[in-house]
Amino acid sequence: LERGGIRCRTGFYREWRRMMWERGCFDSIFNLVGAIRAEPTTMQDVGLYYDEEVSDMLWEATSALRGMLAVTLLYGFEERLFAFSEQLCNAVPCKITAETYPYVFVAPLDQCKTVAEYLNFAKDEKGMLEGVKMPLCSTKKSAMLQGNLRCDGKI
């Protein structure tokens, strides 16, 4: 594109990969949190009023990305996603459908504990995602170490 005179942003493939996972986290988590609400909710509403739920899920997703795919989202991803939802998504309704489920909730996003709980709630309580096999809500402790631990387990 750039050689053809079309203005576009260029970057290293790792940057592109990070940006795509950032957008994937936005599409899946913001839609999931908004879709399970009783009243119709937009992506902007999710960014403004349900920030704690979204933030917890985003951090779970980033841990899963680091552990499974060796991808680390760039510093400030939370602020970028919330700003994007607040500025550009005021008329975008939150929805999750059975048709888009396999493309939006891919591993490792569907294996995050809170995301799995919300997905099961959406299916069991809200009647969404009919005919879709849901991830199990695991109660076992994750093998991923949390916090700033050295390899010997001492802080």
**Encoded tokens for 153:** 């387990």
Residue 125 CB contacts under 8 Å (≥ 6 apart), including other chains: 36
Q: How far apart are CA 109 and CA 24, in angstroms?
A: 9
- Is 91 buried (19+), middle (13-18) or exposed (0-12) by CB count in 10 A? exposed
**Encoded tokens for 52:** 């704690």
Rg, C-alpha atoms of the chain? 17
Q: How far apart are CA 56 and CA 54, in angstroms?
A: 5
Q: How far apart are CA 73 and CA 69, in angstroms?
A: 11
Q: How far apart are CA 28 and CA 95, in angstroms?
A: 10
- Tell me the pLDDT of the chain (155 aa) as tens digits: 777 888 877 778 888 899 999 999 999 999 999 999 999 999 999 999 999 999 999 999 999 999 888 888 888 999 999 999 999 998 999 999 999 999 999 888 888 999 999 999 999 999 999 999 888 776 555 555 555 445 555 55
Predicted TM-score (pTM) of the model is 0.82
**Encoded tokens for 92:** 């975008």
Q: How far apart are CA 113 and CA 111, in angstroms?
A: 6
